[in-house]
């Protein structure tokens, strides 16, 4: 089977750094993506990792360890507008099929 696990909620203060972890179990793993979704909005793509290591995009960074079936999203210099749900998603080989985790609700407080 396949599964993704991520924390259901994380709370952090403005200006801080927060890390959202994601562990996965799947066959034919191709890569790990991260999406952000604000209440009432559509998910928007943040990052994608196919190889081990860290990918940085502005305040957001994403890390992948294929051997550990683990990844994380790192958000720096948190802002109130970062309050949203964050989903990790696994892409599988053999056609385009993305499996999403249940999402992590991030609350940023002043």
Partner 1 sequence: KAGVTQTPRYLIKTRGQQVTLSCSPISGHRSVSWYQQTPGQGLQFLFEYFSETQRNKGNFPGRFSGRQFSNSRSEMNVSTLELGDSALYLCASSSGTSGRSDNEQFFGPGTRLTVL
7 forms part of the interface with partner 1 (CB under 8 A): no
User: Which of 72, 87, 106, 108 is the binder for partner 1 (CB under 8 A)?
Assistant: 87
Q: How far is C-alpha 52 from the chain's CA centre?
A: 15
95 forms part of the interface with partner 1 (CB under 8 A): yes
16 forms part of the interface with partner 1 (CB under 8 A): no
Inter-CA distances, 101 with 50, 55, 68, Å: 17, 20, 17
Count of residues that interact with partner 1, criterion CB under 8 A: 23
Map tokens 């991260």 to a residue: 34
Instruction: Report the distance separating Cα 55 and Cα 30, nearest Å.
Output: 16
Instruction: Map residues 25-44 to x or -, x wherever contact with partner 1 holds by CB under 8 A.
Output: -----xx-x-x-----xxxx
Looking at beta carbons only, is 44 or 79 nearer to partner 1? 44
CB 38 within 8 A of CB 93: no
71 forms part of the interface with partner 1 (CB under 8 A): no
DSSP per position, 12-41: EETT--EEEEEEEE-SSEEEEEEEEE-TTS
Binding site for partner 1 (CB under 8 A): 30-31, 33, 35, 41-45, 48, 50, 87, 89, 91, 95-103
């Amino acid at each position: 089977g396949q599964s993704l696990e991520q924390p259901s909620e994380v709370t952090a203060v403005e200006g801080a750094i927060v890390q959202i972890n994601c562990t996965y179990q799947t066959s034919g793993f191709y890569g790990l993506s991260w999406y952000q979704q604000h209440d009432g909005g559509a998910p928007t793509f943040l990052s994608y990792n196919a190889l081990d290591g860290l990918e940085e995009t502005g305040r957001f960074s994403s890390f992948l360890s294929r051997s550990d079936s683990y990844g994380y999203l790192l958000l720096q210099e948190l802002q109130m507008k970062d309050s949203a749900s964050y989903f990790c998603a696994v892409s599988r080989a053999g056609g385009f099929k993305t499996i999403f985790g249940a999402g992590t609700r991030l609350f940023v407080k002043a």
